[in-house]
Amino acid sequence: MIEITNLHKRFGKVQVLEGISLEIKGGGIFAILGPNGSGKTTLIKSILGMVIPQSGTILIENKPIKDQWEYRNNLNYLPQIAQFPENLTVEELIGMIKNLRGQTANDKELIELFGLAPFMDKKLGNLSGGTKQKVNLVLAFMFNCPLIILDEPTTGLDPVSLINLKGLINKEKEAGKTILITTHIMDFVDTMADEIVFLLEGKIYFKGTVAELKKKSTQNDLEHAIATILTEKNV
């Protein structure tokens, strides 16, 4: 589904991605992990065409994405920080995105799932962080696309919403979708991810299953496995 070859990205003097090569096969939940500043968002934004790498190629469904924007119609994206227009209501925003996208949407189902009905006529600027994140999730899941990219989807969610989100992601996986996630919640990765890639200092430190990472670090739980890696590497 996604094939990344020798990707380099530098912001000024800061080399963020240093020769990333990665194949993400279609179907399943793929987690991108790494300490703060390791380049997770930069990698995701490169896949979205929002960051232009200095060198390297990205293919989606065997087609290079460079200067090609059509592929974006076939993916859903949840940004890490949703900057909504403050004066629009939730209903207006969802309606606007549906109009722009022009695809059928299952927004009603998602509004119900996340209990957003009482907030539909509220201005986005007046919502709490958690409620904004639920709106963000509705926008990210309402179109039927083969690729779903979620940058820190758990931010600010209460336990019930977290369970709903897990259910939603699993449902999409069962429908054969590819879900790319970055998160700091290790329990989420431990229970959900089919495969993980661990970024460190601009390179891929590890790619494989959660069980394989635990084995590599000789730790039984993921949090300790990652802490061991970071301590050994002095990050």
The footprint of ligand ADP (CB under 6 A) covers: 11, 14, 16, 34, 36-42
In the complex with ligand ADP, which residue's Cβ is closer, 42 or 131? 42
In the complex with ligand ADP, which residue's Cβ is closer, 8 or 101? 8
Nearest distance, CB of residue 106 and ligand ADP, angstroms: 29
Identify the sign of the CA torsion 32, 172, 106, 67: positive
In the complex with ligand ADP, which residue's Cβ is closer, 34 or 53? 34
DSSP-derived 3-state class of residue 133: helix
Q: What's the one-letter identity of residue 135?
A: V
Read off φ and ψ for residue 74, nearest 5 degrees: -110, 20
Residue 45's nearest CA partner among 14, 12, 9, 73 is 9
Q: What's the one-letter identity of residue 19?
A: G
Q: Which residue has the tokens 């963000």?
A: 136
In the complex with ligand ADP, which residue's Cβ is closer, 131 or 136? 136
User: What beta strand segments (E) does 34-189 contain?
Assistant: 55-60, 63-64, 75-78, 147-151, 178-182
Within 10 angstroms of residue 232's Cβ, the number of other Cβ atoms is 9
Whether the Cβ atoms of residue 76 and residue 141 lie closer than 8 Å to each other = yes
Which residues, other chains included, contact 155 with Cβ-Cβ below 8 Å and sequence gap of 6+?
80, 129, 133
- Cα–Cα distance, 57 to 6 (Å, whole number): 7
In the complex with ligand ADP, which residue's Cβ is closer, 74 or 80? 80
In the complex with ligand ADP, which residue's Cβ is closer, 16 or 193? 16
Nearest distance, CB of residue 36 and ligand ADP, angstroms: 5
